[in-house]
Amino acid sequence: MQYPVNEIFETVQGEGHFTGFPVIFIRLQGCDVGCSWCDTKQTWLVDPEMQVSQQTVNKACDDKPHWANFTAQEFITMIQKNGFVAKHIVISGGEPCQYDLVELTSKLEQAGYFCQIETSGTSEVRATDSTWVTVSPKIQMKGQLPVLQSALRRANEIKHVIAMEKHIEELDALIVDIDTSDKIMCLQPISQQKRATDLAIKLCIERNWKLSVQMHKYIFID
Ligand code: SF4
């Protein structure tokens, strides 16, 4: 199986439960969710005209809408050739769960890597059982894709972006039938806004949840 890749780079995880961990980021191309505030809109379309070489996507690519196909083995070869030392791989997007990730995650695990998927929850999660799944539910976005209960149940971590009270109400309605006792629950204020940050802090304290602050945007890294 081949996966369309927008960029591969080594960095530190900027948000959620693993904030600060060294990670290898694999950003897959393609997303139909349509969040208005998306900061990776260049990943939405898999345009045949924008197919490039594997070497071109082998770095942080500064918002380019290009992509290259990789097999799982080609990822591993590229990562090893780059001399990356992180053992934690984040498969992001785009919407990575548009693709069947079983083969990719199992080959990466066999090669000694821990896999994490970051998904909107709008597609079925197809990955190994030991893959860490972070669902950041995207509710009522332009693409009109419902957030799947199966994705929420599979999540190890639910990380919700909030700007105002209605966003926490939407999350509460979404997870009403989900047992969250074994999950990391995170709230993330949108776009470093003060009002959203204050609200997220207040709610995290009330609920004993974790605050996620997009550290990479404060320290100016990818
Ligand atoms: S799901 Fe992610 S990549 Fe897709 S539109 Fe929303 S924020 Fe952007």
Closest ligand 1 atom to Cα of 93: 3
Question: Would you state the structure tokens that stand for residue 202, as one six-digit string?
Answer: 């207040």
- pLDDT (tens digit, 9 = 90+) per residue, 22-51? 999 999 999 999 998 898 999 999 999 999
Query: What CATH number did the domain enclosing 87 receive?
Result: 3.20.20.70
Rounded-to-integer distance, Cα 207 and Cα 170, Å: 16
In a domain, 91, yes or no: yes
In a domain, 66, yes or no: yes
pTM of the model: 0.95
In a domain, 100, yes or no: yes
Residue 21: count of CB within 10 angstroms of its CB:
16
In a domain, 211, yes or no: no
In a domain, 190, yes or no: no
- Centroid of ligand 1 to alpha carbon of 143 (angstroms): 10
Ligand 1 site-directed mutation target among 91, 95, 97, 148, most atoms within 8 Å of CB: 95
- Centroid of ligand 1 to alpha carbon of 37 (angstroms): 8
CA nearest to 204, candidates 213, 194, 214: 213
Listed range (84-93, 142-151, 172-181, 207-216) with the worst mean pLDDT: 207-216
- Ligand 1 pocket, residues with Cβ under 6 angstroms: 31, 33-35, 38, 40, 43, 93-95, 120, 138
Distances in Å between the alpha carbon of 39 and those of 33, 44, 71, 109, 191? Answer: 13, 11, 26, 29, 10
Q: How many residues does the chain have?
A: 222
Note whether 94 and 35 are within 8 A (CB): no
In a domain, 51, yes or no: yes
Query: What is the residue-wise DSSP string for 105-138?
Result: HHHHHHTT-EEEEEE-SSS---S-TTSEEEE---
Note whether 216 and 222 are within 8 A (CB): yes
In a domain, 128, yes or no: yes
**How many folded domains does the chain comprise?**
1
- pLDDT at residue 209 is higher than 90: yes
Q: How confident is the model at residue 193 (pLDDT cuts 50, 70, 90)?
A: confident
In a domain, 180, yes or no: no
Give the domain extent around 149: 3-159
Tell me what pLDDT residue 220 has: 66
Per-chain mean pLDDT for the chain: 94
Question: Which letter does DSSP use for residue 42 in this model?
Answer: G
